[in-house]
Chains A and B, each alone.
Chain A
């Protein structure tokens, strides 16, 4: 049995000598925001160092103490997390200025890199919901734009699908590991924040429609390009290959990429995003020629 113990229990510090240079306590600076469209502000918290701490346990301690470094009582900092093992992507935020998952950001390492203080900020490319929680709807909307799925629904049993070659499996597997965390989008210089505010008297439906339209005209992002390539590799998914490429050639499509290659550098799953982008570029070139010359 593996004990699942996520309670906040201060563990004794590691034996002296090994980590003696690390302090007992450290400061955490959090960029907070009370709600969508509200102004943001910094708050400092003092956190007691525990063994094997990650940024999630730091945030748990901050929530438990609910007061700033100078003793002012404040509302607990809001954040999101699920899996705690870097497979859901929910806890993505800027830790010391770099986008990553909070659950795998280990405090001892962070303090060794930058002593004394840890800085936490929400992602800058998505609208902030509250504190470190952002609205990543656009990320999922982009997956819909490129039809990142395999349509297998029907009224009758279609039989087994075509076989996938081991070579294609090798190519597809790394792409299938995407957890929609948004790191690739946060680091991309061509992916810019889209945040709409509701107009006077605008209904929920009207606002949602306007927001969706704005999202659909923005850059799809590296994750969606890579997912389109994943499903174009699949023997059944390939049947909609032209539709996915066509979607990638619309406004905000693959052409917006400026080849900065930050996406591949920050992807926690090491997904070969720039290879996917180049493959999509080639497919788009061929697709355009096919359309132009009616091949």
Chain B
């Protein structure tokens, strides 16, 4: 004797699948309006916020993130410059990361999992193209869920508390990205072919999810309505997806192409500059008439100029180190201990 079935959005407790395609669920009593769960009462708002966060900020962030990462193709210096620009936020960075990126992703992911649980994919009986994408949207959501969770741990270590980071970094599993050694640290983090393949799958799933999500979003909000318009929008979303995937692939190719030794020398030289600039003005080889502030800016410029030589080859890199001053970069380098 089947148990009573009764369903409400966002509510599918102890669901078991029946061959008939329905769901068995415990029944509830007649409820008053106020007793309805908050999620049910604000279902429309929550679903629209979920849809919106998929694009802004999560989707937009992913595109910028992959584009920044793809800049590693232009050499370790360009990449380091881009990373420096992000890290110039300094102590505000964790705050921005949490409010603009992590919390929206967590919101989208948690609501997304709740949404997945309200559906019963049926591509077996109805193998239509749009239905396959509906199912893939959910499959890629799960991949994105675990990939992003692991990726943030692998590169970032989840939280930036110094003590925790040290613990994590020492295990060699997480917090692998070192913003002071951007190129060489990602190169090392992705040195394994398996890790790279895992990244390729994860990025692929996220990009499909984003591109297809863009298309469904247009229907959800009513931007494209007729079948012809939806077809055309589908082609645009496909093009966007291919472009973003190209960025992601370029980033991975770029990471593999990095010459770790050259990159490390360059990054150390740059660090040395930073240390020199942080010293009292007397020690800075200042050009007459320039204020320390301008010198600080020059630091960045010089690093870039040096890198142009650095990417040319090992000999040039030695030149770059020499240009940085008489002190050996490796003796100065902060955050270097991990690699010794």
Q: Which residues of A contact B (CB under 8 A)?
A: 37-40, 97-98, 124-125, 187, 189-190, 192-197, 199, 206, 209-210, 213-214, 217-219, 249-262, 265-266, 272, 274-275, 277-285, 288
Given contacts A39-B2, A192-B119, A251-B41, 17 further A-B contacts (CB under 8 A): A193-B21, A196-B4, A210-B29, A213-B31, A214-B27, A217-B7, A253-B44, A255-B44, A257-B220, A260-B131, A262-B122, A262-B130, A277-B219, A278-B219, A283-B222, A284-B44, A285-B221
| A residues in contact with B216, CB < 8 Å | 258-259
| A residues in contact with B137, CB < 8 Å | 258
Decide yes or no: A282 and B9 within 8 Å by CB, A98-B125, A125-B22, A213-B31 being known contacts.
no
Which listed residue, B22, B29, B126, touches A193 by the CB 8 Å rule? B22
| A residues in contact with B21, CB < 8 Å | 124-125, 193
| A residues in contact with B8, CB < 8 Å | 214, 217-218, 251-252
Are B44 and A249 touching (Cβ within 8 A)?
yes
The CA of A257 and the CA of B118, in the complex, are separated in Å by: 10
CB-CB nearest in chain A for B122:
A189
A-B pair number, CB within 8 angstroms: 163
The CA of A150 and the CA of B337, in the complex, are separated in Å by: 77
| A residues in contact with B131, CB < 8 Å | 189, 260-262, 265
Decide yes or no: A213 and B5 within 8 Å by CB, A262-B122, A278-B224, A288-B48 being known contacts.
no
The CA of A280 and the CA of B225, in the complex, are separated in Å by: 9
The CA of A38 and the CA of B128, in the complex, are separated in Å by: 33
Give 8 closest A-B pairs by Cβ, nearest first.
A282-B222, A193-B22, A260-B134, A124-B21, A261-B130, A255-B47, A278-B225, A281-B222
| B residues in contact with A281, CB < 8 Å | 219-222
| B residues in contact with A98, CB < 8 Å | 125-126
Interface SS, B side? loop
| B residues in contact with A213, CB < 8 Å | 30-31
Count of B residues near A, CB < 8 Å?
52
Are A187 and B122 touching (Cβ within 8 A)?
yes
The CA of A195 and the CA of B27, in the complex, are separated in Å by: 9
Are B126 and A197 touching (Cβ within 8 A)?
no
Decide yes or no: A274 and B219 within 8 Å by CB, A189-B121, A197-B4 being known contacts.
yes
Which listed residue, A210, A259, A278, touches B134 by the CB 8 Å rule? A259
| A residues in contact with B125, CB < 8 Å | 97-98, 187
CB-CB nearest in chain B for A282:
B222
Contact of B43 with A by CB under 8 A: yes
Which of B1, B31, B128, B218 counts the most chain A CB atoms within 10 A? Answer: B128
Which listed residue, A187, A192, A193, A275, touches B118 by the CB 8 Å rule? A192
Which listed residue, A206, A214, A252, touches B6 by the CB 8 Å rule? A214
Instruction: Name the distance in Å between A251's Cβ and chain B's nearest Cβ.
Output: 5
| B residues in contact with A38, CB < 8 Å | 1
The CA of A255 and the CA of B45, in the complex, are separated in Å by: 9
Which of A124, A219, A280 counts the most chain B CB atoms within 10 A? Answer: A124
| B residues in contact with A282, CB < 8 Å | 221-223, 225
Q: What would be 8 A-B contacts, judged by CB atoms less than 8 Å apart?
A: A193-B5, A195-B5, A209-B30, A213-B30, A217-B9, A256-B9, A259-B216, A262-B128
Instruction: Name the distance in Å between A237's Cβ and chain B's nearest Cβ.
Output: 19
The CA of A281 and the CA of B3, in the complex, are separated in Å by: 35
CB-CB nearest in chain B for A31:
B20
Decide yes or no: A275 and B122 within 8 Å by CB, A194-B5, A210-B29, A214-B6 being known contacts.
no
- Which positions 212-256 of chain B face chain A at CB distance < 8 Å? 216, 218-227, 230
Are B30 and A218 touching (Cβ within 8 A)?
no
Are A193 and B122 touching (Cβ within 8 A)?
no
The CA of A157 and the CA of B22, in the complex, are separated in Å by: 48
The CA of A97 and the CA of B125, in the complex, are separated in Å by: 6
